[in-house]
């Protein structure tokens, strides 16, 4: 369903601007490439987040009585996945997987790209109406008057507003987790930390190392059980 909605909005924007993109040259193509990269990245991070294993690796300690996996204080058993998750934040139905240390980067990137995608898409829909009011391009304006395209734009706007608000709320939760170094599970257990980890250190751990191009790519973080 997520991919269908993204593709629907993407197709609506392409239909609205295809004539302009083909006519306006390199700069317009560059902007379209950036928009396409954001769209693809949202889909890719969702897909990789969904299939990434978040089970603990190479841990020493007593076994979980429910799934027999090694367990320590950082491990929580998820009843929905029926397995233990390393540094579990929550079980996310949207990605059909638990969010833990190994895929939290992908989850945060997915939310970020969805926020960018929906906000840019909504802006482009409004812009198409504004451009038509000032443009002398009859082909562009004639296309915008199609009732089918108008209906698609209205549906796309509703989806964009809903998902932008939703992912903004989820990103706020993730930001709080990074600042406090406590997952949602930790907070539910009323756990505290003696000294919160600086945001920079939290990001480096979640994203798998120092700031680099790898931070924005749909690649799971290194599997370090520490």
- What positions carry a catalytic annotation? 92
Using CA atoms, how far residue 191 sits from 108, 182, 186, 194, in Å, is 23, 8, 5, 10
**DSSP element (H, E) containing 77:** strand 75-78
Cβ-count burial 194-224 (b if 16+ within 10 Å, e if not): eeeeeeeebbbbbbbeeeeeebeebbbbebe
Place of tokens 């090694």: 70
Angle at 137 between CA 135 and CA 143, to 5 degrees: 100
Helix (H) / strand (E) element for 10: namely: helix 2-24
Q: Which of 73, 78, 76, 71 shows the shortest CA–CA distance to 57?
A: 71
Tokens 């593709």 correspond to what residue?
Answer: 7
Measured CA to CA, the distance from residue 200 to residue 105 in angstroms comes to 14
Cα distance between residue 65 and residue 80, in whole Å? 16
């Amino acid at each position: 369903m997520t991919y269908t909605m993204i593709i629907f909005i993407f197709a609506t924007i392409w239909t609205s601007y295809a004539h302009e993109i083909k006519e306006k040259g390199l700069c317009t193509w560059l902007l379209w490439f950036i928009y396409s990269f954001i769209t693809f990245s949202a889909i890719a991070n969702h897909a990789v987040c969904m299939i990434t294993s978040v089970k603990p690796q190479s841990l020493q300690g007593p076994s979980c009585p429910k799934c027999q996996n090694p367990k320590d204080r950082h491990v929580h058993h998820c009843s929905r996945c029926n397995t233990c998750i390393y540094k579990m934040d929550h079980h996310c139905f949207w990605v059909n997987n638990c969010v833990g240390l190994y895929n939290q980067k992908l989850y945060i990137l997915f939310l970020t790209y969805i926020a960018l995608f929906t906000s840019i898409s909504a802006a482009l829909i409004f812009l198409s109406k504004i451009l038509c009011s000032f443009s002398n391009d009859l082909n562009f304006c004639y296309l915008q008057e199609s009732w089918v395209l108008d209906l698609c734009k209205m549906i796309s706007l509703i989806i964009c507003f809903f998902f932008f608000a939703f992912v903004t709320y989820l990103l706020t939760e993730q930001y709080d987790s990074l600042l406090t170094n406590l997952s949602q599970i930790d907070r539910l257990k009323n756990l505290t930390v003696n000294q919160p980890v600086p945001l920079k250190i939290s990001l480096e751990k979640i994203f798998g190392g120092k700031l680099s191009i790898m931070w924005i790519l749909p690649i799971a973080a290194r599997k370090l059980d520490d």
